[in-house]
A and B are shown apart, each in its own frame.
Chain A
Amino acid sequence: MTQTTLSTPDTPLAVEMRGIVKKFPGVLANDHVDFELKRGEIHALLGENGAGKSTLMNVLAGLYRQEAGTIRVKGSPVEFHSPRDAIKTGIGMVHQHFMLVPSQTVTENVLLGLDDPRFFMRLPQYDEKVASVGERFGLKVDPRAKIWQLSVGEQQRVELLKMLYRGADVLIMDEPTAVLAPQEIEGLFDILRSMVAQGKSVIFISHKLQEVTAIADRVSVLRRGVSTASGVPSRGVARQELARLMVGREVIFILDKKPAVPGDVVLDVGSIHADNDKGLPALRGLSLNVRSGEIVGVAGVAGNGQTELSQVITGLRRCKKGEVRLGGDLVSNRNALFGIEHGMAYVPEDRNHVGSAPNLSVTDNVIMKNYRKPPVSSRTGLLDMNAAAKIATDLKQAYDIIAPNVSTPVRLLSGGNLQKVILAREISGLPSFMVAVQPTRGLDVGAIEGVHRLLLTQREAGAAVLLISEELEELLSLSDRIYVIYEGMIMGEVRVGGGESDEALIEAIGLMMTGTPIEQIRKEGVGAHG
C-alpha cells in the first residue's frame, strides 16, 4: 500500500506502522498490518479477542519485536528493544492489568523506574509535581494515597498519570473500559477528550462497538491478524458494518426472540439478608422471582450485591434471614449439591476458578455435575472414563467447542470456548432453573452471540433463567423482565417489550441503578411507567 497522502510535512503522523509481522509459535498474530495514528485523535483499534490488537500494540509499546515491518514515530524511524525505548519516544501503554504496586503511594508508583530523584526520595516535592500533571489533564487523584485505597477507575488514572509524567504523547489503552463501572466509563472518556485537546493522541483497543462509536474519531479493524479497515472515520459508518469487518459475517443484534410464555414461579427469593466476605451487609431484604420460560435480568452497578445474590441462590453463601425456594423446595442454607439435585444450573462470574478447574481436561470439567450418576458412574463404583469421554466428545460437537481434543486442559481454551464448556455442562443437566452471572464478560462478539443463543434456547425449553449482568444492552435484548439491584435491595422492576421504548427503559433503569426507587420515578413522571 502506498498511502502517503496523509503524511504531508505539516501534519506528520504521530505513529506510522507499515507491514508489521509478528509470529508466535503456531500463530501468525500480525500479518503485514499497517496502522496510522494522527496527532490529536482518538483512534480505536477494533477486533475480536485474539485478532492481534494487543500484539500490534505491544510491538508499538516495545514489549515485542516485530519480525518484519517498520515503525515511524513523528516521521522518523524507530527501533524499540524495551518499553523504556518506547516511552523515550513518547509512547506509553496502559495495560488491561494494571502495573501498580498496591502498597505504595501514587507518587511512588509514578516515580518508579525513573532517574529523578536519583537517590533520596523527597516525596512531598514530587507529590506536587504529580498533582500538577494530573490537574492538567483532569486526572483527579491524591498523590499521597496508597494504590490499594483507590477504586479501579482511580487506579487507571494513576496508570495514565504514570505515562503522562514520563512525557508520553501517544497513549495506548488496552480495553480500558473492561474493568470500569458504567459511570466511570464516562469519566474516562472525558479524560481522553481532554488529553487529545492538549495535543496527545490516544489508541483505544476495544471489542465493544458502542464504545468505539462513542469515543473514537477513526477506527481500524483487525481480523485474525489482518487489517480489514484502516483509519475509517467512526462517524458515518454503521455499527453493523464494523461488526462485519470484525467477525467476517453479519452479527445479528436483534436476536430473534419468541414471545415469552411464562409458567409457574420456579425460583422464589423471599426478602433475603446476607453478608459479604468482609462481614458487611450485602443483601438487605431482597426479593424476586423467576417463572419458567422467561429470562429475568438483574441490572446494577458492580458490587451492589449481585455476586452475593448468586451465591445465596446456589447455596454457596449463608443467608441470615429470608429464604430461597426452587420449585417449592427450600434451597437456601443447604449446599450446592442440594441445588444441583433440584435442577439448578449455575454459570458463575469467575469462569476460570469457580466455573471450571483450569488444569483438568474438558472431559473432567463437563462431567463434574453428573459423575455420580450413570453412565459415568459405573456399577463398580469407579468412573467410566470412556463414557465420560463420549459425553464430552458429543458436547464438544454439539456446542462447537474449539479445542484440540477433549483431554485438553481447559486453561488452554479461549474465554469463549471455556464458557461454552461450562454452558454445555450446565445445560446438559436439563436444568429447570439457571443463574448466569456476567456470562459474556470479556468474550468477543461471536462468542457473545453464541452464549445469548444458548440462554434463549433454555428459555424456549421452559427453563427459568436469572441473568445477572452489567451490560444493559445484553439485559435489554435477552430479558423479559429486569430487576434493578442497588445496595443489596431491589429498586424496582421493568417489563421489556411492553410497549416502552428502549430509551425510556434505559432511563428508568439508570435512575434505579443510582438509587431511585421505581415508585418515586413513577410519581415524578420521569422515564418508564413499567
Chain B
Amino acid sequence: MDPIIILQAGVATGTVLLFATIGEILAERSGILNLGVEGMMLIGAMTAFSVTIATGNPWLGLLCAMLAAGLLSQIHAFITITLQADQVVSGLALTFVGTGISLVLGEGLSKAGTVSLLPNFSIPLLSQIPFLGPILFTKQSVLVYIGYLFTPLTWYYINHTRPGLNLRSVGEYPSAADSLGINVFRLRYFYVFVGGMLAGLAGATISLAVAPGWFSELTTAGQGWIAVGLVIFAQWDPVRAMFGSYAFGALRRLILDIQGPTVLLGFDNPFYYNPYWGFFLQMLPYAFTVIVLVIGSREAIRKRLGAPAALGNPYIRGERGK
C-alpha cells in the first residue's frame, strides 16, 4: 500500500488506456465512433506477443501489432464510411471479430514461454525529482515515456496545425470541409486507421511491457471499453484523456493493493477478509464506463460535453446542391 508504487504502476497501466483513448479520440474527432477498441487491442496484444516470440524482436512485434489492428479497423471504416452503415452496430461487430480472431490465433500462446520485453529504464536527473521522479521517471517502460511525449503532441496537432484543423472540420461539419476541397472520406479512413494502430499499440503495451504475456481475453479485460468511456469523460481532449488514463491506471492498482493488508487505517481490512468486497471494487471501473456510456449516448448531453457534431453520422455527398 505504498502510494508511490500505486501511482508508478498507475502511470504504467494507464499508458495502455492512454494510447487506446487517444486513438479513439482521433477517430471520433473525424466523426467515426469505433466501439471495436477492445477487439483491436486484443489483436494488437496477441500479434505483438506472437511476433515477438517468433522473431525475438519486441519492436517488430510492436510494429506488427499496430499494423494488424490498423488493418482490422479498416473493416469498420469500409462499413461505416463507404457503406454508410450504423457505427454502433459495426463497432460492436468489430469487437467480436477482433476478439474471435485473437482467441483462435492466440490459442496455445499463453504456454509458449516468455518473450524479450521492451526496455525499462530510468531517466537520469528527472528521476531525482522528489515524489514525481520515482513515479514518472524511474524504471518505466520506454512506451510510458513515449506516452508522455505523445499526449501534448497530439493536443498540439489537433488544435494548432492544418491537418488538425481539417480533422476537426471533417468531424464537425463534413459538408463545409467538402465544399472547400477537403476529402472527407479519405480523412475519415485515415483517422480510423490511426485509431486502430493506437489501439494495437495499447494492446502491445500490455503484452510486451505492462503485464507481459498472453492471457486470452483477460489480457485486455475490458480496458478497450474503459477507453471508449474515457473519451467521453475526457470530452475528446487528449490532455484530459491523459489524466483520466493515469487515474484509472492508479485505481486498478489500488484495487489490487487494497486487498493485501490485514489491517486498514487501524480497522480489520474488509477487502482482505471478505473477497466479495474485492469483487465489488474491481467492478467499479466497468460500472463507471457503463454509466458514462449511458449518459454519453444522450445526444443533448453529448453536445454539451463538446462531442464532434457529426459524430456517428455517415457523410453522404449532397445531390442537387443540398
A101: interface (CB < 8 Å):
yes
Q: Which of A102, A109, A113 has the most B CB atoms < 10 Å from its CB?
A: A113
Q: Check if B176 sits within 8 Å of A101, measured CB to CB.
A: yes
Interface size on B, residues (CB 8 A): 23
In-complex Cβ contact of A84 among B162, B165, B181, B322 (8 A) = B181
**0/1 interface trace, chain B 153-170, chain A, CB 8 Å (1 if under):** 000000011111110110
Q: Check if B168 sits within 8 Å of A101, measured CB to CB.
A: yes
**Which residues in window 218-237 of B have CB below 8 A to A?**
none
- CA–CA, A102 to B177, complex, Å? 12
B173: interface (CB < 8 Å):
yes
Q: Check if A113 sits within 8 Å of B321, measured CB to CB.
A: no
In-complex Cβ contact of A102 among B173, B175, B182 (8 A) = B173
Interface size on A, residues (CB 8 A): 28
Q: Which of A58, A118, A121 has the most B CB atoms < 10 Å from its CB?
A: A121
- CA–CA, A83 to B160, complex, Å? 26
Give the shortest distance, in Å, between A258 (CB) and chain B (any CB).
Answer: 42
Give the shortest distance, in Å, between B43 (CB) and chain A (any CB).
Answer: 32
A526: interface (CB < 8 Å):
no
A99: interface (CB < 8 Å):
yes
Q: Check if B321 sits within 8 Å of A55, measured CB to CB.
A: yes
CB contacts between A and B, total, < 8 Å: 69
In-complex Cβ contact of B162 among A24, A63, A102, A117 (8 A) = A117
Q: Check if B176 sits within 8 Å of A121, measured CB to CB.
A: no
Q: Which chain A residue has the least Cβ–Cβ distance from B306? A: A103
Give the shortest distance, in Å, between A126 (CB) and chain B (any CB).
Answer: 11
B83: interface (CB < 8 Å):
no
- CA–CA, A120 to B179, complex, Å? 22
**Which residues in window 62-116 of A have CB below 8 A to B?**
63-64, 82-84, 95, 97, 99-104, 108-109, 111-113
Q: Check if A121 sits within 8 Å of B160, measured CB to CB.
A: yes
Q: Check if B172 sits within 8 Å of A83, measured CB to CB.
A: no
B-side binding surface: helix, strand, loop or mixed? helix
The residues of B that contact A102 with a CB separation of less than 8 Å are: 172-173, 309
B304: interface (CB < 8 Å):
no
In-complex Cβ contact of A113 among B161, B172, B173, B177 (8 A) = B177
- CA–CA, A121 to B175, complex, Å? 22
Give the shortest distance, in Å, between A109 (CB) and chain B (any CB).
Answer: 8
Give the shortest distance, in Å, between A24 (CB) and chain B (any CB).
Answer: 6
- CA–CA, A84 to B169, complex, Å? 17
- CA–CA, A120 to B160, complex, Å? 6
Give the shortest distance, in Å, between A146 (CB) and chain B (any CB).
Answer: 11
B320: interface (CB < 8 Å):
yes
Q: Check if B165 sits within 8 Å of A121, measured CB to CB.
A: yes
The residues of B that contact A123 with a CB separation of less than 8 Å are: 160
- CA–CA, A123 to B163, complex, Å? 14
The residues of B that contact A82 with a CB separation of less than 8 Å are: 181
**Which residues in window 303-322 of B have CB below 8 A to A?**
306, 309, 320-322
B104: interface (CB < 8 Å):
no
- CA–CA, A466 to B173, complex, Å? 38
Q: Check if A104 sits within 8 Å of B181, measured CB to CB.
A: no
Q: Check if A58 sits within 8 Å of B321, measured CB to CB.
A: yes
Q: Check if A118 sits within 8 Å of B162, measured CB to CB.
A: yes
**Which residues in window 162-198 of B have CB below 8 A to A?**
162-166, 168-169, 172-173, 175-177, 179-182
Give the shortest distance, in Å, between B300 (CB) and chain A (any CB).
Answer: 11
The residues of B that contact A113 with a CB separation of less than 8 Å are: 177, 180-182
- CA–CA, A118 to B163, complex, Å? 9
A101/B172 contact (C-beta < 8 A), A112-B165, A117-B162, A119-B162 known: yes
A121/B161 contact (C-beta < 8 A), A54-B321, A112-B176 known: yes
Q: Check if A104 sits within 8 Å of B169, measured CB to CB.
A: yes
Q: Check if A103 sits within 8 Å of B161, measured CB to CB.
A: no
The residues of A that contact B168 with a CB separation of less than 8 Å are: 101, 103-104
The residues of A that contact B322 with a CB separation of less than 8 Å are: 97
Q: Check if A99 sits within 8 Å of B175, measured CB to CB.
A: yes
Q: Which chain B residue has the least Cβ–Cβ distance from A122? A: B160
Given contacts A97-B322, A121-B161, A121-B165, 11 further A-B contacts (CB under 8 A): A64-B321, A99-B175, A99-B179, A102-B172, A103-B309, A104-B168, A109-B176, A111-B162, A112-B176, A113-B177, A120-B161
Q: List 17 A-B contacts (CB under 8 A).
A: A24-B320, A55-B321, A63-B321, A64-B321, A99-B175, A99-B176, A100-B176, A101-B169, A103-B306, A108-B165, A112-B166, A113-B177, A117-B162, A120-B161, A121-B164, A121-B165, A123-B160
